[in-house]
Amino acid sequence: MIFENIIYFAVSLNFVGHILYVQSIIKGYTKPNLVSWFFWTLAPFLGVFFQIKAGAGLSILPIFVAGFGSLIVMVAAILKKNGFWKISAFDIYCGLFSFLALVFYIFTHNLGISVLFAILSDALASVPTIVKSWKFPETEMWAPYLFPIISNIVGLIIIKNWFFPIYSFGIYFLILDITILFCIYRKKIFQTTYLTT
């Protein structure tokens, strides 16, 4: 039980990451892609609903905070003039496919398939931010991606029933956050590697 309480600390870190990101938006350094952040708000909330139906416990907290933190980021970006990345046709297509995956997710009666569609929806919506992080890493910030890695690792460790609808979102978020962090810092990583060889 004491170990399970670590989840509250891990989730707090996750939330701090989103707050730091909002501060970066307000200062004009970071420009989030609204297509990604909209679905990063919606899909986790739906995921939490289905995880509760599957019998998940405290392990859903990192997923809930991912959705709630994304909502705060989205509102901050909209309220800040020029606070978000220009939406392209590519972003709209990713958003449409993501929306279709969400529709399948909502109307599928199989819990495992529903969660799979939710993850697919979130992943498709993540593509614009991954591309932006790769091409324009200076428009992104590390905090909302690093802290959730810690939070989701703790969430996975405290799972008692390893059932796909319960653990899948946590593993997906780990892969996504590591991917985006790599895209943001890849130039620095390769420059450091090149200089030391």
SS3 109: coil
Domain holding 177, by residue range, is 3-196
The residue written with tokens 């892969």 in the block is 175
Apex 34 CA angle, 190 and 13, nearest 5: 65
Asked if pLDDT for residue 195 goes beyond 80, the answer is no
Element (H, E) at 123: helix 111-135
CA count, 13 A, side-chain hemisphere, 48: 17
- Average pLDDT taken over every residue of the chain: 84
d(CA 128, CA 180) in angstroms, rounded, equals 11
Q: What is the pLDDT of residues 110-146, one digit of tens each?
A: 778 878 888 888 898 899 999 999 999 999 999 999 9
Looking at the structure of the chain, the number of domains it has is 1
Residues contacting 42, CB < 8 A, separation 6+ = 67, 102
Written as six digits, the tokens of 20 are 């730091």
- Is 93 exposed, middle or buried (CB count within 10 Å of its CB: 0-12, 13-18, 19+)? middle
The mean per-residue pLDDT over the stretch 94-103 comes to: 80
pLDDT at 192: 55
Per-residue pLDDT tens over the stretch 6-46: 878 888 888 899 999 999 999 989 999 998 999 899 888 87
pLDDT tens per residue, range 57-98: 777 888 888 899 999 999 999 999 777 888 888 888 888 888
